[in-house]
Amino acid sequence: MRSSVAAAALAALFAAASAPASAIPIFAQRYHLRCGQCHSVLPELNAFGNYFRSHGYRLPLPEHGTTVFAMRYQVEYDEHPAAGARQWQPGGIILGSGNIGPITAFLHYSLGAAGGPGGTFLAFAAGYNARTQTLYRGGLFELPLAQSPGQRLDDLQQYGYYGAHVGLNNLPLSSPRWGVMAERTFGKLTADLTVAFGSYQGAAYGGKPVPTGEFTWNKQPEVGLWLRQKLVESNTGEVDIGATALGGTLGVLPTGRLPFADLYQRWGLLAHARYGDLDFQAEQWYGDDHDADGFLTNQHSSGGYARLKFYPIPHAYLGIRYDAYANPYITRDVVYYGAVQIAPCRFLLQEVQPPGQHPYLSGAFTIAFPGPLKY
């Protein structure tokens, strides 16, 4: 099986990655840290990296002069590219951050990929109130999903239900939202409240947009409540569970037809466990669209994933994931993948196995380096 060959190829790089990773721009330079302090395999965050992010990208340490902008450049290979696409696809993003008093500004700008235009993917201001243990964000931000679809992808394949469209509702969970969010910690419970008034319209990372034949907008604000409870926490492992309720009303204007409103809800359940070098995570989502096509069709949808990862060293992993969603047609796949970080570079290799079809291979080389501007 070619997945075994892929795993063997990645294993050959693991020893080289065992050395401490060198510094990556902006945050590492600002606090004189190494990239391995926050990242397991960039851009994936470790526990400290998630703590740093949830505290508004601030630490109670002296701040130093640093680059304001950095770039992450990626070259992807796809054994069976989509129609009109090439096997080798270059792409890049510009990351920017700066502090203004207690506020941290963050920018994620795509340079375009796969024939698509560049554009702003994330742009928000964040602040953290230490007294109330509350994080605030405003602007264009990602929903607080268990697996970030835009900033910290651990492979190249869409996670389960994250990218699903339901009927003519083209607002997936993976699209960033325009709005505000607040995240507060109550002991071992973390709660997020999101209120969105608009959404990112385009393809992630500047890929070529797929025509959908309709124009959509938030007719009523989307409101979401996200809960995550830590059940067990020790030096060797942890167990936590989560639940989400999300809903709003999307205005839809199909080509050549009158506009209509789709009242939609999304509910999610999460389970996560880590023991030593093993990490397991699973999510299940359910959706209900009260008018998915403009003809008052009530459409149900569901989907999720189950993922197991093994970290032989802190900066490398091997993973297997099962994805599935139905809206109403069922789509499934199994992804075998692995990645290793060597200094500011990531080498990723994966094989996707759709049911009853030949598997296909893909991979990516990612490198991060500083931009020219400094404080």
Residue range 363-375: average pLDDT? 69
Q: How confident is the model at residue 85 (pLDDT cuts 50, 70, 90)?
A: confident
What is the average pLDDT across 228-250?
A: 95
Which one is predicted more confidently, 93 or 212? 93
Say if residue 242 is exposed, middle or buried (CB neighbours under 10 Å; 0-12, 13-18, 19+).
buried
Q: Please tell me the predicted confidence (pLDDT) of residue 10.
A: 42
Domain range for 36 is 2-370
Q: In whole angstroms, what is the distance from residue 174 CA to residue 349 CA?
A: 22
Q: Name every residue whose Cβ is closer than 8 Å to that of residue 28 and which is 6 or more positions away in sequence.
A: 34, 35, 37, 38
- Evaluate whether 222 touches 141 at the Cβ level (below 8 Å): no
- Does some domain include residue 213? yes
Question: Considering the chain, what percentage of its residues have pLDDT values greater than 90?
Answer: 52
SS (H, E, C) the chain: CHHHHHHHHHHHHHHHHCCCCCCCCCHHHHCCCCHHHCECCCCCECHHHHHHHHCCCCCCCCCCCCECEEEEEEEEEECCCCCCCCCEEEEEEEEEEEEECCEEEEEEEEEEECCCCCEEEEEEEEEEECCCCEEEEEEEECCCCCCCCCCCCCCCCCCCCCCCCECCECCCCCCCEEEEEEEEEECCEEEEEEEEEEECCCCHHHCCCCCCCEEEEEEEEEEEEEEEEEEEECCCEEEEEEEEEEEEEEEEEECCCCCEEEEEEEEEEEEEEEECCEEEEEEEEEEEECCCCCCCCCEEEEEEEEEEEEEEECCEEEEEEEEEEECCCEEEEEEEEEEEEECCEEEEEEEEECCCCCCEEEEEEEEEEECCCEC
Instruction: Grade residue 8 by pLDDT with cuts at 50, 70 and 90.
Output: very low
Asked if residue 371 has pLDDT above 70, the reply is no
Q: Is the per-residue pLDDT at 263 higher than 90? A: yes
Q: What is the pLDDT of residues 156-182, one digit of tens each?
A: 888 989 988 899 998 999 999 999 999
Rounded mean pLDDT, 32-56: 82
Whether 291 maps to a domain, the answer reads yes
- The pLDDT assigned to 158 comes to 87
Lowest-pLDDT choice from 84-98, 161-175, 234-248:
84-98
Q: Look at residue 193 and tell me whether its pLDDT is greater than 60.
A: yes
Give how many domains the chain has, as a whole number: 1
State the chain's mean pLDDT as an integer. 85
Domain assignment present for 375:
no
State residue 12's pLDDT score.
38
In this predicted structure, the answer to whether residue 310 has a pLDDT above a threshold of 80 is: yes
CA distance 142 to 196: 11
Report, as an integer, the average pLDDT of 319-337: 93
Average pLDDT over residues 188-205: 87
Instruction: Give the pLDDT band of residue 374 (cuts 50, 70, 90).
Output: very low
Model confidence over 140-162: pLDDT tens digits?
999 999 998 777 688 988 898 99
Q: Which range, of 36-45, 281-290, 305-314, 322-331, averages the lowest pLDDT?
A: 36-45
**118: pLDDT confidence band, cut at 50, 70 and 90?**
confident
Strand partners, 191: 184, 227
For residue 373, pLDDT beyond 50: no
Let me know if residue 238 belongs to a domain: yes
Residue 346 lies in a domain: yes
Assigned domain for 189 exists: yes
Confidence (pLDDT) at 17: 38
Q: What is the domain-level CATH number for residue 280?
A: 2.40.160.10
